[in-house]
Amino acid sequence: MKVIMSGNEACARGAYEAGCSIASAYPGTPSTEILENFSKYEGVYGEWAPNEKVAFEVAAGASIGGARSLTAMKHVGVNVAADPLFTMAYEGVNGGFVVVSADDPGMHSSQNEQDNRLYAPHAKVAMMEPSNSQECKDYMREAFKISEDFDTLVLFRLTTRVSHSKSVVELGEKKQTKIKEYEKNIKKYIMIPAHARGKHVEVEERLKNLEEYSNTCSLNRIEMGSKSIGIISSGISYEYCREVMGDNASYLKLGFTHPLPGKLIREFAEKVDRLIVVEENEPYIENFVKTLGIKCSGKDVIPICGELNPAIIRNAILGEYEDSVMKYEGVLPNRPPVLCAGCPHRGIFYSVSKHKDIIATGDIGCYTLGMMPPLNVTDTVICMGASISGGIGLSKARKLAGDKKKIFAFIGDSTFFHSGITGLINSIYNNEPIVTCILDNRTTAMTGHNENPGTGFTLQGQAAPILSIEDIVLALGIKKDNLRIIDPYNLKDTEAAVKDAKNSSEPFVIITKQPCALKKEVLKLREKSKCRIKTEQCKRCKACLRTGCPALSYKNDTVTIDEAQCNGCEICKQVCKFNAIEKVGE
């Protein structure tokens, strides 16, 4: 059977066909759909973990226990999981173990543009790079075999374009695999220094064997066309090169990219007149080719920043500039990212925006958009969980400078579970009086409304205990007097909580509780709930516009509310001092 699949869907299918039975992940674009699709297959277990380190360790434990296992994450998630990654490189596997890193060239939804191919030589593990959806499925099946044959985890590197592009995939049958026996082996699975020294020697020997495999396997292949230009490439870049050059070039198509195939590269280089390495971001392959003493072009003509496309490659190789085929002659309106109409985060950001003596540290999630005008609240964003821990350091530094501004740290419910708890512990333990604002919208919203420990459901839709953020906060040591639980749609209570928190001399927590406005059940509940301008009473003061709600607009000297967007949260109604906004519907 042939079907159309995205790369992520095909990865899930490949894992299923390979007999993978256990998978754990934390959602992160562009990797999220791998676990969402894997969990739908019969006879498998898939879960959302609180963070990528936990997910990696769950899958690692499953591998040690004899099951073929998978973990998937976006590129920055690998940073979170790097500790067990490097140790499991020494321990090896029992059941096959595949780690998916979905990189994001062009930073479509990420805070940096790191190239995770560099993790493979650093950790000394095998790596594969599919170029399309069919290869995602086929390579995944092969990855589990390689993992078991060579006693190594396999880093399975995707990029946004491979993860999200769709193409035809020929499905196969599920491989019937048994859970392997587990045998106690402390020299293999306990990495104390004495054991690790011996394992390092094994790892180096394994790399030699993997390099020989790299030179002979079908995943790396020479495709001869014109000998005037030879292109070495991998991943989506190979597809772009094929589109641009066709048979007017020869190709070394690399699918197994660590260890790289030195012998095969030398063989290919001798066959062509000019050699070009085409790859996104870091010169990973190019640097290796040059260490072989082979002259080649690479980042001297191919950009190191951003995502590649056929037009960029055409210009780099042929010197031909190609405009986009699709053209629009009109003027496109500016549409910056913004909190959705009715977003429950808006209330607390609006309340904090009134205080010019607050520094707000932000985090990864929808609430990052608290930085956008007209709210202009957020000052910093580093990484998951850093709003709290970074806020502590910022607070200490400003106090040393004699600055009396208060630090408010904003973090979502899923991010709090991911890596915010330890930061709050640090705040309490070291008695740093920052204000931690936990914005609980009952979902992991930005990555597609995924479940988390506070939603009451697992990835596979089973009922689960709801972890109470309030109970966790109190258990960590926040005093009851220093905790406020508020409805962020109620501006009076929200502003009172902000004031109390700002005046506190101890660690303080505000928990806002309202579900994401885009959840299906919320949309259905509020579909008839709207706010409307009473034009005759409107003074055109534009105070309501300062909430930053995209449903509100000012045109032709009139404030209007787009009822298609509005869900009746009433924040604008509370802001209006002239009673010019009314609630209509249920």
* Contact yes or no for 104/122 (Cβ under 8 A): no
CA–CA separation, 179 vs 63, rounded Å? 9
**Which residue in 242, 119, 239, 101 sits closest to 163, CA to CA?**
101
- Find the farthest-apart pair of alpha carbons in the chain and give their distance in angstroms, rounded: 82
Q: Which is it for strands 154-159 and 97-103: parallel, antiparallel or unpaired?
A: parallel
Measured CA to CA, the distance from residue 581 to residue 542 in angstroms comes to 12
pLDDT at 107: 96
pLDDT given at position 130:
98
CB-hemisphere CA count at 13 Å for 198?
Answer: 9
Give the integer Cα–Cα distance in Å for 297 and 303. Answer: 12
Predicted pLDDT of residue 28: 97
Q: Where are the alpha helices (DSSP H) in 26-132?
A: 33-38, 52-64, 75-80, 82-91, 119-123
Retrieve residue 165's tokens.
Answer: 């592009």
220-318 domain in CATH 3.40.50.10860?
Answer: no
List the one residue out of 214, 550, 519 whose CA is nearest residue 375.
550
Q: pLDDT at position 333, please?
A: 79
Distance (Å) of CA 36 to CA 10, 166, 459, 461: 12, 16, 7, 11
> 469, 413 in Cβ contact below 8 A?
yes
Which CATH number is 2-216 given? 3.40.50.970
Any idea what the Cα angle at residue 561 is, between residues 555 and 565, rounded to 5°? 125
CA atoms within 13 A on the CB side of 425: 10
What is the 3 state secondary structure string of 238-265?
HHHHHHHHHHHCEEEEECEEECCCHHHH
170-182 per-residue burial string, b: 16 or more CB within 10 A, e: under 16: eeeebeebeebee
* Residue 147 Cα to chain centre, angstroms: 25
23: left (phi over 0), alpha (psi -120 to 50) or beta: beta
Report the pLDDT value the prediction gives residue 334, as an integer from 0 to 100.
Answer: 80
Residue 98 one-letter amino acid: V
Write out the chain's pLDDT in tens, 586 residues: 999 999 999 999 999 999 999 999 999 999 999 999 999 999 999 999 999 999 999 999 999 999 999 999 999 999 999 999 999 999 999 999 999 999 999 999 999 999 999 999 999 999 999 999 999 999 999 999 999 999 999 999 999 999 999 999 999 999 999 999 999 999 999 999 999 999 999 999 999 999 999 999 999 999 999 999 999 999 999 999 999 999 999 999 999 999 999 999 999 999 999 999 999 999 999 999 999 999 999 999 999 999 999 999 999 999 988 765 667 778 877 878 899 999 999 999 999 999 999 999 999 999 999 999 999 999 999 999 999 999 999 999 999 999 999 999 999 999 999 999 999 999 999 999 999 999 999 999 999 999 999 999 999 999 999 999 999 999 999 999 999 999 999 999 999 999 999 999 999 999 999 999 999 999 999 999 999 999 999 999 999 999 999 999 999 999 999 999 999 999 999 999 999 999 998 7
- pLDDT attached to residue 142: 98
Tokens of 553: 């607009």
Cα dihedral: 8, 9, 14, 19 (round 10): 110
Instruction: Identify the CA nearest to 393 among candidates 409, 378, 377, 412.
Output: 409
CATH topology agreement for domains 2-216 and 220-318: yes
Predicted local confidence at residue 586, as pLDDT: 75
**Reduced to 3 states, what is the DSSP secondary structure of residue 329?**
coil
According to CATH, the topology of domain 345-522 is Rossmann fold (3.40.50)
Please state the three-class secondary structure of 367-410 as a single string.
HHHHHCCCCCCEEEECCCCHHHHHHHHHHHHHHHCCCCCEEEEE
pLDDT at 327: 73
- The amino acid at 17: E
> What distances in angstroms separate CA 58 from CA 22, 28, 85, 221, 506, one per listed residue?
9, 17, 12, 35, 37
Residue from 259, 350, 413 nearest 548 by CA: 350
In the three-class reduction of DSSP (H, G, I as helix; E, B as strand; rest coil), residue 214 is classed as helix
CB 227 within 8 A of CB 271: yes
Domain residue ranges in the chain: 2-216, 220-318, 345-522, 526-584
Question: Which secondary structure element, helix H or strand E, spans residue 347, and what is its range?
Answer: helix 345-353
- Predicted pLDDT of residue 325: 60
The per-residue DSSP string of 139-154 comes to HHHHHHHHHHHHT--E
Distance set, CA 515 to CA 27, 54, 345 (Å):
19, 26, 10
Fold topology of 526-584: Alpha-Beta Plaits (3.30.70)
Is omega for the bond preceding 374 within 30 degrees of 0, making it cis? Answer: yes
Q: How many residues does the chain have?
A: 586
